[in-house]
Every structure is written in structure tokens, then in C-alpha cells.
Structure 1
Amino acid sequence: MLWTLVLVVVALGMPALARYLEKRHRAFEVFHPVLLCYAAGIILANTPGVSVDEAVARAISEAAIPLAIPLLLFSSDVRGWLKQGRPVLVSFGCAVVSVMVVVALASGWMAGWSEESEKIAGMMVGVYTGGTPNMLSVGRALEVSQEVFVAMNAADVVVGGAYLLFLLSVGQAVFRAWLGDAPEDAVALASGDENEAPVKGRGAWREVVLGVGVSVGVVVLSAGFSWLVTGGISVALVMLGITTGGIAGSLWPRVRDLRGTYEAGEYLILVFCVGIGALTRPAALMGVGAEVVMAMGVVMLGSVALHALLAKVMRVDADTFLITSTAAIYGPPFVPLVAERLGRRSLILPGVAMGLLGFALGNYLGVGMAYALGWLGA
């Protein structure tokens, strides 16, 4: 009970502290609040003598993102997104093609160490075109063994966590050196979004509370819609409903003009970072099969590298590449996190849209890849 309370206090308090340190001390400008909050969760969960309940940490992360996405989208410029639509679609298409090509090339190597290599390949396509939920659903559809299922999930945590840290630290600098900066009109659009008045005064806080209330309503309606259609909570349907609600709010002047909604969404993103960090336990992952981790690492590294090469050919800028790579590998929940790190809130809406497209495509592509490899190997 004590450590649960500590986790909740850290999750709610660390975002405010990280923002304060960033504004008041130059030394913390290098360490973005996203990294500080992520590190705080990792340190808390891995400190000797501290017992953090994973269920509570997972509940914090799973509650923060659905509430954050509508708040982040309420102030979106839908017309501005439409202007950026083509490059985002092109880049996401390159990401999907890259995963399919690399998995197909790696399938022969994987066949040497697993009888379920075709199923593993299908799960890899699912996870790297739509995120972890797709890997789980593809695995169930293909009826993989429990051993493979557990190993793939653990390896996904190891490899996915490593790439996420790269994205949040030096990824932007590396890919900007390769792909170049965003076009001036896109940067101007993002800059215009950032020039908002600070949230001050009782009136402003009432608007923040109202915005959060609207966001809660969007989440409840989305969950209800999912329950009505499927009889349960479908991640894809809930995310679709949340995104639709956020876009609808941005088109309604009464909601769009609410002050502080984006800042409230940013705060919840940082709460999410603490929760995700608290779920990262390197010591618990030591038993994962080396072959599975190596295969996941090769496929992710290879697909990201091929995606970057195709993005160069198609003249996709670095920020668009990074947001679509995030959408493909992690799905919609992590898009606002990376967009915040890039300082490009204008990419949240198209990134979430591509993540939803990945949700829709990933299961088909994953199962299709497994059957195609099985047919070719027969």
C-alpha cells in the first residue's frame, strides 16, 4: 500500500517537477521532461527494497493516454493536417513495406531455430505495423505456443524499449542529419501552435477542468461504443472513437477555444511516462531466449534502416519519418509522446491516424505473411 501511494505521488508530481526544472535550470534543458519522467519510473521500480505494483503502474499508463489524446487534439488544426497528409501517408507506406521486406528476408534464418518460424514472422509483421496489440491478436489467430507467446512479448519489451529510448534521446538529431529538417511551412504551422498564452487565473483553470471533463466524456463514449459493437473493450475501436472525438472537438469552436487543454494533455503524457518507466524491469527479462531477442532486434533495426532509406528516396523529412515510425512500431498511444519530444504538436493528429491505420492493417498483414511463408515452405 505504501509503495502504491509513492508511485501515485511520483506519477502525479514528477511531471510538474520536470517542467519546473526545465524552465528554471539550464542543465535540465538537455534532459527533456519526457526523459526525466521515464527515468523516474525506471529508478523507482528498480530501486532495491521498493516494491512497485505492476498492475497499478499499468493502470496509470493505460488511463493517462486515452484522456490525453482528446485534450491534445482539441486544439488541432485539421486543415493544417490535410496539408501534411501526403508526406505522412508516403512515409507510413514506406514503413509497412520495409517491415514486410525485412521479415520476408529474415524468415529463412528464423526457420533454422524454430518450428513456428512462420508464426513468429507473422507476429513480427503485426507488431511493427500496428503495435503490441496486433502482435497479440496475430499470435492468437495463428495459435502459437505459450512459450513463443511469452518470449515474443518479453523480447518486444526489450527491443521496443531500447528503440523508444533512442527516439526520445538522440533519434531526432541522427535522422535530421540523414533526412533533413521539416519544410518551412510545416515548421511555421507547428510554431503557430506553440505560441499560446500561458494558463493563468481561475477562469483558465475552469476551462482546463471543462476540457478534461469533455475528454472523459469522449473516452466513456468510445468505450461504450466498443462494448456495444464487440461486447468488450477493443483497443482499436476505443482509439478510433477517442481520435474521432478529439477531431470533432477541434471543429467545435467552444471546445477548440478552451485554454490549457493541450498543456493538460502534455501533463498526462508525462504521467504516462512515469507509469511506463515503472513497468521496465531489466532484471526480469534476463531469461528471454537470446534467439528471439536477436530476431526481434534484427527485424526492427533492419526495417527502420530500410524505412529511413526509402524516406530519403521519397524526400520525407526527419520529423515525419520519426512520427510514422512511432505509429507503426508502437501504435497511437506513443505518438503524442514522440511528437512532444519533437516539439511538433501538428504531427499528433496525422500520427495517431497512421497508428489507427496500422491497427487496421497489421492483423491482416501478419496473418497473411505467416500463411504465405508456410505455403512457400511447404
Structure 2
Amino acid sequence: MLEPTSDNTAIVLILVLTVLCAIWLEKNTKTFEKIGAAALSILIGMLLSNVGVIPGESVVYDFFRGPGVLAGITLFLLTVDLASIRQAGGPMLKAFLLGACGAAFGGAAMGFLFVDAIGPDTWKLSGQFAATYIGGGVNFAAVGQALDTSSEYFTAGVAADVIVTAIWLIACITIPEFFGKRDPQIESSTLGKPVEGADAKSAIGSLLYSSGKPITLRDLAMLMSIVMVCMWLSRLISTWVPIIPMIIWLTTLVLVLAQFRVVKNLSGALVLGNYLLLLFLATNGAVSVIARIIEIGPAIFYFALGTVLIHGVIIFGVGIMLKIDSTVIAIASQANIGGASSAMAIAGARGVPNLILPGIAVGLLGTALGNYVGLLLANVMKIFIG
């Protein structure tokens, strides 16, 4: 008899079913629609692990948290058209950059505050939390892998990130309600072409859940070739120039390739990247054994919460002083904290589908920017507290 707690095939089966369940719940239930498949994948994985259906450790998890997530990151970055970032418009881009500064400042401040409570990996967590709160959870994994963060702190950090991100998602849905009437400017074309009704759903689907056109065998072959070449080449270059981490070479190579028309025309990169990301998140849920997190202590949770609160004070406080609409700020904040998918969720929840594309644009910018800022901050913090 095959036991899920020891059989790798059974573990993979449960993980893919976890992602399928999360997607179904998001698409078919109003309650879980706002939570999103990303958070649901983590929560279901965490539940299954903590009740003993799947183990807290497995070589399967090592794959999805290593090569698997790197492939997902590569596929996501292949969709970043640097020229199209201008679609985000001045207000959205300003709010996003404010949020990025807030995340970096928050990561540094929490590092100094919790260095005694956490210990030698504190400088790494400063970089990881700054990175993840600039462009979403993919960056936490990328920077953590580059810095070789210890598994127990990585696991606790993921769990803290899940909880804090969920709390902030709710906050970003409700905060704009306290700032009065919506600015008419957010309906203008300067923030992106308005999308309404069925077209809004189509726009969302074409970005993360559907390629919008058939995915051909050639597309898949090209995408997999690009992913493997970039991963191999970036690892090779990092051995020649070890002072620069592999993830920086990978990010740079992919962003350069993403600007070529032949790559832009490939179908399915974002869908495949999103699927790998969901598997990665389900895996992180599985390794988030609550007993182990409690054993480490609450300091990492407070680290994550403090980073997000500082981000929130800066992005909403300064943003409102600059007269940026609170809904635009909320979407930009979620692009920072949860990535492109969270920005989409807020745009839908706030009833502004015309801001879906701008939100995704800055979310993808955050995915690209977060790795650079996170690694830079970590190495600066290492000088002071390492």
C-alpha cells in the first residue's frame, strides 16, 4: 500500500490536487474568490501537512522550492515588457515606488529591531521580506535561495508571510472605504484602457489563467528551451563571477530576452509560470508545520508584520498627501505585497477593472525589481548586523 507520507508519487499527486482544488474554489465560490488561489494553495497545503496527510519534509518539496520555482520565476519574467510599464500611468507607478521604498525601509528597520531575537540569519530575512513585499512571494523564494537561508527560518518566514499577506489583502479592500469618493481620474485612459463586464474577466483570464490563444507544441518547446538555457547559463556565469548571485544573472538574462518580439509572441508563459508558482506555494504550505513555527517563536511573524505596516504607513500616508486615489494606492500596495495576482484581486474587489492591467504591469515590475533590492539590502544589513 502506498503511503502519502513516504511515497513521492503520492505526494506530487496531493500537491497537484491541492492546486486544482484552490483554483476551483477561487473560480466557483464567492467566499474564496477574494482570498485567491495563491493563498488557498498555501492554506490547504498547510492543513494537509499539519494533520499528517503529507509529511513536513520531502525531496519533492526540494524540487518545487528549487528548480521548480526558478522555472516559474523565469516564465513570469518572460512576460515583462519593460516598455509597457508606462501603461501603469504616473499615479500607479508613483504609489508602487512608494510601496517599494516602504518595504525596503521596513525590512531594514525590522532587521535592526529583531537581530537579538532572531540571530545570525536576521540580515537575510531583511532582504527576503523587503524583496517579497516589493513584488510578491516569488521573490522571497528567489532571494532566500540565493542567500541560503536556513530551512527553519525560511519555513517560518513563509508561514508569517502567508498570514500577513492575507491580513493586508483584507486591509487593502477596506481601507479605501474610509477615504470618501473615488477620484474620477482613475477612470481615465491614463491609467489603462477601461475594461468592463465580460471583457474584464477575459483580461484576467488571458493573463494568469488562460493564454488567450492556443498554446502550440512549438510554444512549449521554445519556452522550456529558454527556461533551461537561462537557468543553466545564469548558474554557469555565477560560477565565473561568484560575487554576483545566480538569481541576479537569471533575472537579467530573462528580462533581456523578454524584450524580443519572438519571445513576446510565445503563448502560455504566464499560465505555466503561475501554475509552477501555485505548486511552490502549496509546497511552502506543506513545510509550514505549525509546531515547528511555534518552536522558533513569534519574532519572525512580528518581523513580517512590522515590515508591512511600515510599508502601509508610507504608501498610504505619502500617497494620500500626494493626492493619489486611495483605490490606486491599494492596488499598487497589493502589487508590492502579493504580486500581480493580488493586484488583480483588489482591482476586481474594488470594482475598477480598468486598473487590472496597470496593476499587473507594476506587479510584474515588482517581481523583476524585488530580487535586486532584496539582495542589495541583505548585503548592506550584513555589514551592520551580520
TM above 0.5, yes or no, is yes
Show the 5 A alignment for 1:318-329.
Answer: 318-324=330-336, 326=337
Residue 268 of structure 1 is aligned with which of 262, 271, 276? 276
Show the 5 A alignment for 1:193-208.
Answer: 194=204, 196=206, 199=211, 204-208=216-220
SS in 2 for 1:251: coil
Residue of structure 2 in register with 1:219 after alignment: 231
1:245-294 CA distance string (max 9 Å, x none): 3322322212211122221112112111211111111122222345x357
Residue 351 (structure 1) shift: 0.1
Q: Is the 8 A contact 2:341 2:360 kept in 1?
A: no
Structure 2: how far apart are the matches of 1:298 and 1:262?
29
Q: Is the 8 A contact 2:206 2:212 kept in 1?
A: no
Letter in 2 for 1:163: V
Q: 1:94 to 1:50 in 2, by over 3 A?
A: closer
Q: 1:80 to 1:269 in 2, by over 3 A?
A: same
Structure 1: how far apart are the matches of 2:220 and 2:155?
38
1:354 and 2:369 correspond: yes
Q: 1:224 to 1:30 in 2, by over 3 A?
A: same
Structure 1: how far apart are the matches of 2:259 and 2:297?
49
Structure 2: how far apart are the matches of 1:61 and 1:118?
24
Residue 251 of structure 1 is aligned with which of 253, 259, 266? 259
Q: 1:309 to 1:50 in 2, by over 3 A?
A: same
Q: 1:370 to 1:154 in 2, by over 3 A?
A: same
Q: Is the 8 A contact 1:32 1:341 kept in 2?
A: yes
Q: Which moved more, 1:220-229 or 1:128-137?
A: 128-137
1:127-176 CA distance string (max 9 Å, x none): 54346687899999xxxxxxxx8996676455333213334x52441454
SS in 1 for 2:55: coil
Residue 71 (structure 1) shift: 1.9
Q: 1:370 to 1:94 in 2, by over 3 A?
A: same
Structure 1: how far apart are the matches of 2:110 and 2:245?
29
Specify every segment of 5 or more residues in structure 2 that has no aligned partner in the other structure, as ranges.
133-139, 347-355
Q: Is the 8 A contact 2:46 2:287 kept in 1?
A: yes
SS in 2 for 1:286: helix
Show the 5 A alignment for 1:171-182.
Answer: 171-177=171-177
Residue of structure 2 in register with 1:170 after alignment: 170
Q: 1:226 to 1:155 in 2, by over 3 A?
A: same
Structure 1: how far apart are the matches of 2:193 and 2:217?
28
* Number of equivalences: 342
Residue 34 (structure 1) shift: 1.7
Show the 5 A alignment for 1:84-103.
Answer: 84=88, 86-100=94-108
Q: Is the 8 A contact 1:95 1:303 kept in 2?
A: yes
Structure 2: how far apart are the matches of 1:251 and 1:139?
30
Q: Is the 8 A contact 2:111 2:122 kept in 1?
A: yes
Show the 5 A alignment for 1:1-378.
Answer: 2-3=3-4, 4-20=8-24, 22-23=26-27, 29-48=33-52, 50-82=54-86, 84=88, 86-100=94-108, 107=113, 125-130=126-131, 156-167=157-168, 169-177=169-177, 183-184=186-187, 185-188=190-193, 194=204, 196=206, 199=211, 204-230=216-242, 237-289=245-297, 292=299, 296=303, 299-300=306-307, 302-307=309-314, 308-314=316-322, 315=324, 317-324=329-336, 326=337, 335=339, 338=342, 344-367=359-382, 369-370=384-385
Q: Is the 8 A contact 2:68 2:280 kept in 1?
A: yes
Q: 1:138 to 1:309 in 2, by over 3 A?
A: farther
Residue of structure 2 in register with 1:375 after alignment: none
Structure 2: how far apart are the matches of 1:247 and 1:120?
30
Q: Is the 8 A contact 2:80 2:364 kept in 1?
A: yes
Structure 1: how far apart are the matches of 2:121 and 2:65?
27
Residue of structure 1 in register with 2:135 after alignment: none
1:71-114 CA distance string (max 9 Å, x none): 2233333212156455433432233334556766xx5xx79xx5
Q: Is the 8 A contact 1:69 1:336 kept in 2?
A: no
Structure 1: how far apart are the matches of 2:270 and 2:125?
34
Q: Is the 8 A contact 1:69 1:246 kept in 2?
A: no
Structure 1: how far apart are the matches of 2:105 and 2:212?
47
TM-score, normalising length from structure 1?
0.71
SS in 1 for 2:258: helix
Q: 1:209 to 1:270 in 2, by over 3 A?
A: farther
Structure 2: how far apart are the matches of 1:218 and 1:164?
30
Residue of structure 2 in register with 1:331 after alignment: none
Specify every segment of 5 or more residues in structure 1 that has no aligned partner in the other structure, as ranges.
141-148, 327-333, 372-378
